[in-house]
Amino acid sequence: MRKWLLAAAAAAVIAAPASVMAQAPIIIKLNHVVANDTPKGKGALKFKELAEKYTNGKVKVEVYPNSSLFKDKEEIEALQLGSVQMLAPSTAKFAPLGAKEFEALDLPWLFKDDETYAKAMKGPVGKWLFQKLQAKGITGLAYWDNGFHMVSANRPLLMPTDFQGLKVRISGSKIADQYFRLVGSIPQILAFSEVYQALQTGVVDGCENTASNYLTQKFYEVQKHITVSYHAHLQYAVIVNSKFWNGLPPDIRTQLDRAMDEATDYTNSIARKENEDALAAIKASGKTTLHYLTDDQRKAWQTAMAPTYKWAKGRVGQEVLDLIAKELNVNMN
C-alpha cells in the first residue's frame, strides 16, 4: 500500500509540470491600424501592461499595431470569427458590424469641443450605441478619443468651392461621404494602411484625419496643404467578441475591466496633447502649409455641409439623432 502511495506521489511530481503547462496564459490578440506612437497605440500598450499586471500573467495581451495582422475590413471579420479577441476601430467603420448608428458621431461640427464629446460618450449616447452591438455578438468596453479631423490636399482648402472635383479618401462612414459630396468632392473608401501610397501616387487627392495620424503615417509629406478645420471628430470603440469575453473566468474579467478603465482614462487624458504635439511637429517639418479657417470660411463650410444632418436620418435613424440632440442640446435639422 505504502509503495503504491509513493508511486502515486512520484507520479504527481512528474505530472506537476504538465499541470503548470496546462495553465497556459489566456491570449488576447489586440489588432489596430495606427502607429504605437499615437493615442490609440499608447492606449493599447497601457492596457497590455495593466492587464498582464492585474492578472499576474494569467492573461497575455499581444498588440499588433499598424495593421500588422489585419487591415480595416479584415479585422472586423477576424473579431467575429475569433481570430483576434480585441479591436479599437474608429466608430466610422462600424457599418459592416451592422451598427451604422455609430456614424451619427461623424456629423460635421457635432461636438463643439473635447469636453462635449467626452460627456456625450460617457452618457446615454455612448451606452445606447454599445447596446446596439450586443445583438451582434460584440461587447463594447470603452470609448477612446483621438480628437478632431483636419483635411488636406495639394491645394489650399479654404472655401467649399475648393473641394470641387477632389478625390478624398474617407475611412468608411456614409456621413463623411455625404459631407464631402456636398462640397463637390468625390469621396472614396480606402483602408488606412493604403492611404499614404494612394496620396503619393494620386489615386486620391486628399484626406481627413487627426494630427497624430498625419504625423505618424507621414501624410503631411505628400500633402502640400492642410486645413486645421476640426470639422468632425475621430473616436474609437474598444470591442471584444462577446462569446470570448463572457467565457472568461469572472475574476479575470474583473481584472481586465479594471485594466481597461485605467487604460481608457490614460488614453483620453493624453489624446489632446498628443495631437497638439503632432501638429507642432508637422509645422516644424516645413513640408506642408497649415491653414486656419476664418469665421466666415468656417460658416461657409458649415452651411454647405449642414444638409448632412437631414440626410443622416435615413442612414442612422431618428432615435440616435434624438438622443444626441437631447444630450448636446443641438438642433439636428
> Which residue number, 55 or 91, has a Cβ lying nearer to ligand LMR?
91
Binding residue (CB under 6 A) for ligand LMR from 85, 90, 216, 275: 90
Q: Which is nearer to ligand LMR, 222 or 332 (CB)?
A: 222
271, 213 Cβ separation under 8 angstroms? no
Among 192, 214, 219, 309, contact with ligand LMR (rule: CB under 6 A): 192
Residue of 127, 104, 73, 129 lying closest to 315 (CA atoms): 104
Alpha-carbon distance 129 to 110, whole Å? 16
**C-beta of 199: minimal distance to ligand LMR in Å?**
12
Q: Does 34 engage in binding with ligand LMR (CB under 6 A)?
A: yes
CB of residue 200 vs ligand LMR: minimum separation in angstroms?
16
Encoded one letter per residue, x for contact with ligand LMR by CB under 6 A and - for no contact, window 144-183 reads --x------------------------x------------
Q: Who's near 164: CB < 8 A, 6+ residues apart?
A: 183, 184, 185
Query: To the nearest whole angstrom, how small is the minimum distance from the Cβ of residue 226 to ligand LMR?
Result: 15
What is the rounded distance in angstroms from the CA atom of residue 186 to the CA atom of residue 152? 14
Interface residue with ligand LMR, options 28, 30, 33, 138 (CB under 6 A): 33
Q: What is the 3-state secondary structure (H, E, C) of 194-254?
A: HHHHHHHHCCCCEEEECHHHHHHCCHHHHCCEEECCCCCEEEEEEEEEHHHHHCCCHHHHH
Number of residue whose CB is nearest ligand LMR: 90
Residue numbers 213-252 binding ligand LMR by CB under 6 A: 213, 234
Residues near 292 by beta carbon (within 8 Å), at least 6 away in sequence? 227, 228
Residues that bind ligand LMR (CB under 6 A): 33-34, 90, 146, 171, 192, 209, 213, 234
